[in-house]
Structure 1
């Protein structure tokens, strides 16, 4: 195929470029004319007729109040030309990614777009010859689906205009991926200790000669070493609770002894996090340990649940439908480009750009993961190229596995990890989230949606027009038990009994009083009791009420529901036992692939169905009786915008760290639990012993046989000189206009770099609507969760890159943002982040001290939020609370020595302006 000559550049299509701001946008035509556009009547048809060049079509449409419109989207072109790479989906983000100066006005943003297109065409022209044929085939088929960029992309790739036969083969990325090598099982790890001196030496090596060496970081490294010593007694792991203030450098601090222990003992250390942001950060930090990518790939694996990875079988079956739905070629072509370039197939925090799901549609991106547990394991044609299987096998050979709390807790609770390894050493970073992770992992929800998912897993997709493969248990078990008539009978009985589970249309049936079967009848009784007793929340929020005393209808429905659950549970358990029995009975004849399928299917059956059914059966047996000690039950109707999404009964541990401690006792010999916010230093109880008891309660260490080793290393930052904390006393927090005016004034005083944190989405949206145009006129771009058509990770990336932008967010931003430098120099909290007073919280506060418990949670949230403000030794910032009712007893959340000032809004604005070098006032 000819290569386009360097002197013949490909030019973008002759259409206007459209850039948008908070109040509207500008069109810049190829001839240089500039037209201002505003939301209004006639704009939709006008934009559709122009087919403009844009950056992130959904974002542009949202800002202009438009529905979808045809356009040349630069982010689609970027995804095709630069697969598995990231650029913030703004004109400025594109400019930075392509190495040009970011724009400083709307007109300049529009002019960036054709220039970016030229740069991307030039990159396509440099495509390696072995990749060129595939890229051309994809572009051709995408063109048949209406992709606007097809003609110039083909030009850039040096392809002629004539169609080629066999272009659709380019989508078969699964056939071009390398096969996964087989690895022998590793022997059990040794028991050699890591001494503090060894760990400090490894830390020094990781930092290098040119890096800053901090005494606090070395002390922290020494402090966590006891977790890497041999266990003393069975079921009594060595646990270290290590609090490290921001700036200590705890990540490298625990990587040092972890990597040493893994090397000395031939075992793996599992490093678990709560947020995808920290997983990504950890992966990057490990480049210091293994600068050679090939060596790093051998020794480091990022592990997540299989629902995070692209399923090649799902991709193949979606591609097969392109003939009937040609427009699907566009998103699937972009996915094929990414799938061939990705490092590990991770679509949730890996090298998959989050904005691609917004542009290409979630069904044809994130929806291609195995989110319903339908994997057929070695029965799949792509098993030996599967991204999940690759991660699982590599994790069995790795020294360091970077995972997340949910995966570790669920799999450890099942008795082992799905790579058949049994790690003995864990590091739980973001340890302050262990309580929430355990709460989720060990809870039971008897709900309509859970029942529908269970039904689908067992029976497959029952709708003849279903687009997902939806294979049921019978299909996944094919070929595993032909000679075992008992197993076949158990399976048939179970699948017949599964018809009792809730099915599509349950909402209408329950609302109409015509449930289908005993389980839907029970769910209908749940719903009736909730609506009868719960106070209806405003704006269609979810409802909940206590189970006891149970209504007469609920008690009457329980026996039939219990019998239906028993009729399903018993044959499923018998089928699972028959499968596992065959592993021993046919040990000499089973090949490894079949053995793997049986073990994987039995594990999935236990996790997805048997364990939940066992819990459901026990709960339904006790309906009408007091809830067992240690648990809290409630009935809930989940709603959104007035629409009922789910209904059922929830059971949570009051203290979920009890089962967490049991899991750690059974599986671990050494554990590090670390965070910057483990302890709660209450002003009313400054006793360090009390603050450590709080940390032990929140992490489950209090339930372990051996007492945890405690370590606290203070932050090296001089917070009193680097930060100011202000409580504004004259803003009415319940008047949206007053709150919006205050946020706007503060953001303008800081000249951008402001993060607004809200405890309710409705208040966030109200403030955004009021202040976005005003900030835009000051050239201060404003972005917001729940407003902009972008995922949270993308919004944070934009905020990090654009120094004068501002961002509004809720708790996901409060706990997960890492924005060093001037991009974050002001935090404005709309009000005290008290815990939501629901039934679960009520039960816990009754056990743990009522108001003291509320205060503890709130202080830790404030501490987390404040921790976003200073991320490096050069940072400065101001933390502002707009809630005049902030109690003094919460202020110990802030670092010692930081003086909290109660001031009026005018004074707060003056302080923020002064701290930011006198940011200019509005003209």
Structure 2
């Protein structure tokens, strides 16, 4: 029987999914969740505290919720992992209530051990949800059950906080020399004035509390990086530094909420950024590798060299500054003439130019004199500190790029170098990134602390192994657990693959795809989220179908994404087409979303320098580069995109994948097994009929 129909039909049977742990679905009445005992044994820390089951029950009850087997199983497993010091990866589908499932054990562990637990997220939205909603409610719910009230704080990178010393003109202006539109300068000037007024009122200095927000150009004039900071002891404003105050609050808290970037910096740098902690919970863990990669990616361009030249003005002899400037100009000319893309072998001219930049920066560093001088002159110390920072970035990046080459065997490579083409606002830029971050995470993040990693999407192709390798989880020291989802995917959703369509090409959307989209949207009466592999495809579909569909059609880029999603949710017949941020950032429960269309399997671009280099590196080590990199990337996005459909227990609908390779290619089973167990069909009549019934119901 069709899951969205009361009449019999001959359909394909729903796929079966084998979980990693036998954790029953909420709809199973004759099984009980498996896992560690709810109450900690007497020899475990916190044996005198209420068990995790009692605490979770109080938390759920105070929110008016009901017991969820998957949530309880996850809470028990997190409790055991924290107690025994074993890493844990937990896939918890939408609706499981995973935030409480890790927060309750984390709070209990923090109270028992008298040390902070760090919770790291990928998005600002989840950070705010934790700090503004989940943790305050949890503190209230556990009042009287624990020996004291729980405490929590949010901690961000230094760039996110206003620097009082810089706001007081304690740092030289570091704005690069660029040609700006006069109107843009006026807008930025008004933002600068608003920041100055806000600086006299704010109690936190947190950029996110400045509403409406300001652009990066304005904010840079009031913030410093960790490397530019003078330090609380030397800075005239150190006693009232917003960053230091935030770190102080975090150091006194049970739960410290931060982001993946700061977590990576804390793990990899010699200096501590986060307070002392023995346990970390990584939520949105499917994004950890990309966020860490971005942190350890360096870039070099003429603009960066020119910034360093400006920062050393009046601090070194002019001939030395001129030497660095000339090296930067040589780099500019070379990059302007070179083709964009991956650089596998170091051309002689590029090697010589990088050496010129490196050597000129090193000479200037020497000319600046001993680091830490001018202790009695904060303004002079600030100017020297930012000069050192700029020179170090130029010098170290040039060195790293030169060292990325010269390996006889591909297996020995550590980094990949590529040239990113320039734009109207940005010059051509040479970049360098690691081929893998697993090794550094294994040695740092997973080295001396317990880590729980969780997301709705971790078991790709039915296994955690792919992401575990990317994270660098130590073999034999971690456990994977899939607690399922409270949603009955097979009865609530149809996964439809348009096998009859041609394979997607490189020349935009074929007419057959546009016709298929139109027929599906018409059957659904609008109510469609179109997820496209490129902005060009999304715009082409919106332009071609705007007049044809007869329902409101929004396209990403027409307005801010948040406003578009709001408009989409409020009008049931509206459709929204877009690309990457919509694959993961839309939460629209209810009748406004009945159809999710995915135009093609979201493989990375074949010419993407980093992913193509990573594929080659995996292959050189004897692995399957396509499956380990490209297919894993696609599976993650597909699972995230498909997850937009069911956001509440009453949601129903269809996920339509137009790319026939999703059913026919050799890797298709891996992709399908990365999704929840929806009812599957390749019959377009079945999909359209189901959508019409939903539309008319």
TM-score (norm 2): 0.76
Secondary structure, aligned partner of 2:497: strand
Deviation by residue 1:183-233 (Cα, 9 ceiling, x = unmatched):
xxxxxxxx97357972222212221253111121111011112442365xx
What's the counterpart of residue 172 of structure 2? none
1:525 aligns with 2:334: yes
What's the counterpart of residue 657 of structure 1? 438
The structure with the largest alpha-carbon Rg is 1
The one of 153, 163, 184 equivalent to 1:301 is 153
The one of 412, 437, 447 equivalent to 1:629 is 412
Deviation by residue 1:126-184 (Cα, 9 ceiling, x = unmatched):
xxxxxxxxxxxxxxxxxxxxxxxxxxxxxxxxxxxxxxxxxxxxxxxxxxxxxxxxxxx
1:723 aligns with 2:499: no
Secondary structure, aligned partner of 2:277: coil
- The alpha carbon displacement at 1:606 in A equals 8.3
Distance 1:222 1:750, change over 3 A: same
Deviation by residue 1:42-88 (Cα, 9 ceiling, x = unmatched):
xxxxxxxxxxxxxxxxxxxxxxxxxxxxxxxxxxxxxxxxxxxxxxx
What's the counterpart of residue 34 of structure 1? none
The one of 262, 267, 272 equivalent to 1:407 is 262
What's the counterpart of residue 108 of structure 2? 260
What's the counterpart of residue 879 of structure 1? 655
Deviation by residue 1:839-865 (Cα, 9 ceiling, x = unmatched):
322232231403323323222221111
Distance 1:805 1:285, change over 3 A: farther
Contact 1:736–1:767 under 8 Å retained in 2: no
What's the counterpart of residue 240 of structure 1? 88
Distance 1:731 1:455, change over 3 A: farther
- The alpha carbon displacement at 1:822 in A equals 3.0
1:445 aligns with 2:299: yes
Q: Which has the higher contact order (CA 8 A, sep 6+)?
A: 2
Measure, in 1, the Cα distance between the counterparts of 2:217 and 2:351: 44
Measure, in 2, the Cα distance between the counterparts of 1:628 and 1:453: 36
Deviation by residue 1:554-608 (Cα, 9 ceiling, x = unmatched):
3443543342233245566x633x569x8xxxxxxx9xx98xx99x999988876
Secondary structure, aligned partner of 2:66: coil
User: How do 1:501-650 and structure 2 match up within 5 A?
Assistant: 501=324, 517-528=326-337, 530-531=338-339, 543-548=340-345, 550-570=346-366, 575-576=370-371, 578=372, 610=392, 613-620=395-402, 629-640=412-423, 643=424, 645-650=426-431
User: How do 1:453-852 and structure 2 match up within 5 A?
Assistant: 453-455=307-309, 458-459=311-312, 492=316, 497=320, 500-501=323-324, 517-528=326-337, 530-531=338-339, 543-548=340-345, 550-570=346-366, 575-576=370-371, 578=372, 610=392, 613-620=395-402, 629-640=412-423, 643=424, 645-666=426-447, 668-681=448-461, 691-701=463-473, 704=474, 707-729=477-499, 733=504, 734-735=508-509, 738-773=512-547, 778=551, 780=552, 782-785=553-556, 787-790=557-560, 792-837=561-606, 838-846=608-616, 847=618, 848-852=623-627
Identify unmatched segments of 5+ residues in structure 2. 1-42, 170-184
Distance 1:806 1:312, change over 3 A: farther
RMSD: 4.2
Deviation by residue 1:378-403 (Cα, 9 ceiling, x = unmatched):
67776665544432332222221111
Secondary structure, aligned partner of 2:432: strand
Contact 1:193–1:228 under 8 Å retained in 2: no
Measure, in 1, the Cα distance between the counterparts of 2:264 and 2:385: 15
User: How do 1:85-104 and structure 2 match up within 5 A?
Assistant: none
Contact 2:493–2:679 under 8 Å retained in 1: no
Distance 1:499 1:748, change over 3 A: farther
Measure, in 1, the Cα distance between the counterparts of 2:384 and 2:167: 25
Distance 1:676 1:498, change over 3 A: farther
Distance 1:636 1:227, change over 3 A: same
Distance 1:873 1:601, change over 3 A: farther
What's the counterpart of residue 149 of structure 1? none
Secondary structure, aligned partner of 1:716: coil
Measure, in 1, the Cα distance between the counterparts of 2:186 and 2:674: 57
What's the counterpart of residue 81 of structure 1? none
1:901 aligns with 2:681: yes
1:433 aligns with 2:287: yes
Distance 1:624 1:881, change over 3 A: same
Measure, in 2, the Cα distance between the counterparts of 1:192 and 1:575: 51
Contact 1:724–1:877 under 8 Å retained in 2: yes
Deviation by residue 1:830-885 (Cα, 9 ceiling, x = unmatched):
11111222232223223140332332322222111112221222222211112233
- The alpha carbon displacement at 1:423 in A equals 2.5
Measure, in 1, the Cα distance between the counterparts of 2:320 and 2:248: 36
User: How do 1:863-878 and structure 2 match up within 5 A?
Assistant: 863-878=639-654
- The alpha carbon displacement at 1:731 in A equals 5.2
User: How do 1:116-515 and structure 2 match up within 5 A?
Assistant: 193=45, 198-208=51-61, 210-229=64-83, 238-283=86-131, 284-291=133-140, 299-310=151-162, 344-347=204-207, 350-351=208-209, 356-357=212-213, 362=215, 370=223, 387-418=242-273, 421-455=275-309, 458-459=311-312, 492=316, 497=320, 500-501=323-324
